Structures are given as structure tokens and as C-alpha cells.
Amino acid sequence: MRSKNDPNSLISKGQSLASLIQKYYIQYGKSFYRLTLNSKAGFENRDWPGVRKDAIKRLNMYETFLDKIESEIYKLFGQQAKNISIWKNAKKYYRQAISDWYDLELAETFFNSVTRKILMTTGINRKVEFFQLRSRKFKKLDSKIIYRTYNIIESTKDSLPEILSDFEFKSPFEDIKRDSEFIANEIDLYLWPFMGGEINKVIEMINVPFYRNKVAYLVGRILAKGHVIPLVLPLYNSSNGIFVDAVLFRKRQLSIIFGFAHTCFHVPTERHKELIEFLLTILPVNRIDELYFMIGYRKHGKTEFYRDLHHFIHVSKEKFEIAKGLEGSVMIAYTLPNYNYIFKVIKDYSCYLRSENISNKTLSREHVMHCYQCVCNRDRVGRMVDTQEFENLKFRKKRFSSKLLREFKLAARNTVVINEEYVLIKHLYLQRKVTPLPLYLEMEHNPEAIREVIIDYGYFLRDLAAIGIFPADLFNMWNCGVTSRRRVVLFDYDDVESLLNIDFKVKPAPRDYYEELMPDKDRIAAHKNDFFIDEIEIFLGIPKALQGVFNQIHGDLYNVKFWHKMQRKVKRGDIADIIPYNKARRFKRRFDFSHFDISHR
């Protein structure tokens, strides 16, 4: 009878384990692609509830497959599921099996995910995980298979119908001739400064749309006189047919659409490397991890991010330090001075360490994690910063400032373990850096920039309401940030509530002389989820001198009718049209009376 640790037995089990992980990875890949393909039919059929359901399902799919394979591994291997020798053999045979796979890097990440789920690895175990310090360079790719080329030698307008028709939507265009003319006019105008009246140029379009929510984005580039110009066409599908809503060229416009506050696109292609290579030509400032996130490969995006972080720490020698801004009572936020990300660790209990303030919050770790998970698994409409979750990370102690180590010791003992040489972090959240809104208003000296941000703050509240989100700690503007493109976003989610849970009310007036003398807190019996609209203007946090600019555009936010109307829409399941680019860029298709309220006489 063979011993459990017999070398032949361990090799055999390693082979079996490698085959099992291969099988589940292939199943995951097929399911991911099949669900991504559904986006086309959802757009064509205007099945918006189905589109939203598929988006949530795809976000959760990776973890679903990890849960399934975890169960099967324990079922097959029992107590030996954590045997390192078996995993070392599994890695060896898995590497051999996938060596010539197109999606090698995704398959390696899947293997790593399985090892970390079973072995609960702290830091990196290079004996059983695939690891390299830098991103793997793509081998020579045939990028032309991902896009179509159109040589414009006569009229720009005459070439556009062919470009639009080649996407072969089952739904007809509302007016393809009109839209072609719209697009051509914008292209010719944009190219005029460096081309004048010259027509010759090349348009290259990725051959599948980028689907998200109700929009199909056609993404491409224009090659003209040595210039590479991004070209993005947002398509909507109305009851009258498909129409082009705008033409987008500029980096600022694209940085919002492809930004870190949106959920990922559904791009129905199996050639992700060529896709990323193309995107790098029109989004050159984006990092490789961001592009993986953008097209839905979130777990591998995390892998690429960790490689970049590891390299940055190694090269820069910078120390982690406490992040600038107001201290939060729920999280310890820290960063690297020249790294564009914030790391957040949940405190053991709600408290302040840098002041004598006393926190009245009683949020549990489970509640905080639930709030963050809810945000991760929904449409963030460009208003909530993407959050990545990491577990069991390991860094050298000398990489942390003494002040940060002190805060870990005082308020994060359940999450952070500090020994003589290393800091072990059991769980953290990662977000892109943004400037806290109050800090931005204090630092910015351009009145027009301040006006833009203050007005956008109102649209930020409207957009969150449209997707059924209410920031319960509304009066704390420190939970909001401003991006480099002056867009207001939410980055702190422990006070996020469903809009439907909030009872919006008007504060009752005093009933008699005695009640007039009483403080509101003594005469009004308020419940946990009551929200008195009367207090928004007083406590919203906008400096008094700037409230007039806000009120001119968003005065209706002080009216309980607005919030009740939004609650009715959310309850019906309405999916809002939230335009992620400047509305002034939209084409005027026709005179549409639906934009006007004609009920008033």
C-alpha cells in the first residue's frame, strides 16, 4: 500500500490537480465569453434589465468558479488539499499544459487564485504560484484581426454608412444618412487645423462594440498626417432605431468613458491581447492593469497591478505613509507619495487617532465589507471609484512610516500583523487617488474650475439617486473626491444606503408656542432612516459663498418631490440614461417635445 507522501502518489495527484484547474479555467473562459456575447442581443432587443442582470452575473462569475473548484478539490484530496508537494507538481504540469495557450497569462492568474484560496498564502509563494516582476510582453500579434480599415480618399461623409453598417446590428438605424453626416462634419472640423481641405485619411475601427448599460460604443482611431486620433461613437437604441449620439476625440472625454469610476465594458472578442494593444494607441496614459480591468478581466488586472506595485516599491524605495485628508473613523488610509493609489484597512473599531474627536459610528467589519461589495457588484455610473480587494499581503516593515505603524498597532491589530521584519496585511481595499472635495475647494484658485466642480457635485447626487444609491453621510463632503478631470466621485462606501430605504420628509413645523422654543431634537421623533430635506441646504457642506452657484442649477434637490420621484423610478426598475460625456457634445436629432414639461399653463 502506498504512503500518502509517496513521490509517485504526489506526482499523480499533482497531475490530477493540474487537469482539474485546467478544466475549470476552460469552463470559466467559455462562460465569460458566452455572457459577454449576450450584450449584443441585449442592446439590439433593448433588454435593459437583462443587460444589468448579465453584468452583475459576470462580475461574480470568477468567484463562483473558485468556490466550485474549492469544493471539488477538498472532495477529491481531503486533508492533502493543502499538501505543498502536490501543488508544486500541479504547477509543473499546469505550466506544461498551457505553455502554448493564447491566454497563458489569464490561465496562470486563475491557477494562482485557486492556490491562494486553498492555501491561504501570505505574500507570494513562488514554489506554487506563477510570478514575475514585470508584465509579460505580448508576442508578435496580428493586430489587424481586431479592427477594420477604411481608406478615405473622397468624401468623409460617403464612407460613414459603410463603417456603421459593418457592425451588422439586427436593429435598424434610425437615420444612418443623417448620422453619417453628423459624424463626418465633426471629423472634418477636428482635422481641419492640421489637414485643411485635404481628404485622404484612414479610419480603423475595432470590429466589435464596447457594451455598457444602454450604450454600444464604437471605438477606433483616425490616422492622418502622422497623427493618431481616437474616435469613439456612442450608439443608443431607441424605439425608433439605433442612433449615434455624439463623436468623441478628446482625451478628457475618453478618460471619463474609460475611467476608473465605471464598471467594465462587455467586449465580445476572444482576442484580448490585440484589443489591449489597439487601446494603448488611443489611451497611451492608461496602464496595462487598467486595460484588463476595463474589458472585464478584473482578477488578472489585480495581478498586473501587484507586479507594478512590487516593482515601484523595489525601484523607488518610498515608504507607505498616512494619506492626506481628514482622518476617517472606519478606515486607516495610506499611500506611497508618488504612487497614484490609496490603500485602506478597516479599523478594529470606529475611532479617531489623530484628534480628540469621538466617533458615534458602531459599524461592524462585516457591515463595511458588505457595503463595499455591494458597490463593486453594481453599475457605478462613473460616480463611484473602483475598489479592488486584496488579502494576505506581505511587505518589509522598513517600507512603512513610524506613524503608520503606530496606527496599525493601535487600531488594526485584527487585520495587520507586525513582526520584526515584515508587515502582514490580511485584508485591504485599493482605490485610485482623488482629491477630497473640501481640500480641492481650498486649494483651487480658478473660479471657473470651482464652478464646474460645484455644479458637477449636484449631478453627482442626481446620478447616484438614479441608480438607487444614497450617501447617508451626505453632509460629510470628505467622502467625495475630485478627479483630475474635475469630476466628483464617491470613494467612501461604509455609509452607502439603498435609496429605497430612506424616508425623505419635510421637518414638521412647531404646533404651538412651547414647541417653537424647543430644539428640533427634542420635539421631533426621528427614526434611523428619516432624512429631513429641509436640512440639506444648511448642512450639505458647500461653503456659503458657493451655494448660490449650486442652487441655480440644483435647487430642486431641496424639494422632497425630487427624491420621492427618484424612489418611484428605482422601485419600478427604471434604468437611467446617465451620459458620461459633456451633454453639449450630443447631436440634435430632432425637435423633441418630451424634453419639456407642458403640464403648466
Catalytic residues: 386
Look up cell 431641496; give the residue: 558
Strand partners of residue 427: 391
Torsion of Cα atoms, 448 then 451 then 453 then 455, to 10°: -140
DSSP 558: G
Torsion of Cα atoms, 369 then 374 then 378 then 380, to 10°: -60
SS3 state at 197: coil
Q: Please, what is the Cα angle at 324 between 322 and 328, to 5 degrees?
A: 75
CA nearest neighbour of 391 among 122, 47, 92, 31: 122
Is residue 151 within a helix (H) or strand (E), and if so which, with residue range? strand 147-152
Burial of 539-551, coded b for 16+ CB within 10 Å and e otherwise, reads ebbbeeeeeebbe
Written as nine digits, the cell of 105 is 497569462
Look up cell 488578472; give the residue: 300
**Contact partners, residue 547, CB within 8 Å, separation at least 6:** 537, 540
Q: Three-class SS string for 83-130?
A: CHHHHHHHHHHHHHHHCCCCCHHHHHHHHHHHHHHHHCCCCCCCCCCC
Look up cell 464612407; give the residue: 159
How many CA atoms are closer than 13 Å to the CA of 25, on its beta-carbon side? 23
Written as nine digits, the cell of 524 is 421631533
> 10 Å Cβ neighbour count for 560?
14
Distance CA 339, CA 320 (A): 10
**Which amino acid is it at 250?**
R
Written as nine digits, the cell of 145 is 484581426
Burial of 283-316, coded b for 16+ CB within 10 Å and e otherwise, reads beebbbbbbbbbbbbbbbbbbbbbbbbbeebeee
Question: How is 487-515 classified by DSSP, letter by letter?
Answer: -EEE---TTEEEGGG-EEEPPPPPSSHHH
CA nearest neighbour of 253 among 588, 591, 600, 581: 581
Find the distance separating the first CA and the last CA of the chain, reported in whole Å: 93
CA nearest neighbour of 243 among 595, 586, 579, 580: 586
Look up cell 490530477; give the residue: 16
**For the chain, how many residues are written?**
601
Contact 51, 43 (CB under 8 A): yes
Angle, helices 104-119 vs 7-44, to 10°: value is: 120
